[in-house]
Structure 1
């Protein structure tokens, strides 16, 4: 399970979701903190534990197969109109949108 808190009109709402779940975020989530120079120097001296994927029980074989990649169709060049009336005429008569 995962606990998620979100903003609603009346305040904050906390939800309990079962995994797997899709969670989206907004721009305010990642507000960077800047480390002080002494903390950076301490971090350089700290040992780094490295674990392999096998130790974590994770398979690295790809599970998605790409069948085909094609570019989108090219768009035709647009035109400029001089007035709203000309735009309405083109939309009505040529494009038959209105």
Structure 2
């Protein structure tokens, strides 16, 4: 089970967890407000426009969180000081058999078409005439 936040440097688009699920082929649950593990199944409750939705996922799975998922703990100063003294193990991706090479390929980059300058009209009648005959939107 991999749990990620919903906000990241992906412009707050919730892409990180979904992209990870797509690349690994794992099931995904987004915006989880409640998570329960039962054997090899995962029950994820998420808030949607119409209320709550419950999903059942097979493990392994990727879950992105919602702010209602947990009550944050605040570290006390003594515990912060203890944590500073703990050894930090550094592992390289290659040691885990993971490749960090990009799997994305840029096919083409194009600049958007340049917008034409607007025009000023002298009256409402002229505006309606231009919308009807030139733009053909009415």
Flag the structure with more relative contact order, 1 or 2, with Cα contacts below 8 A and sequence separation at least 6: 2
Aligned length: 93
- TM-score (norm. length: structure 1): 0.60
Work out whether 1:15 is the aligned partner of 2:63.
no
Q: Distance in 2 between matches of 1:79 and 1:30?
A: 48
Which consecutive unaligned segments of at least 5 residues does structure 1 have?
none
1:50 to 62, 82, 90: 90
- Structure having the higher Rg: 1
- TM-score (norm. length: structure 2): 0.47
2:107 to 67, 87, 90: 67
Deviation of the 1:40 alpha carbon: 4.2
Which consecutive unaligned segments of at least 5 residues does structure 2 have?
1-26, 28-41
- RMSD, aligned α-carbons: 3.7
Bigger strand share = 2
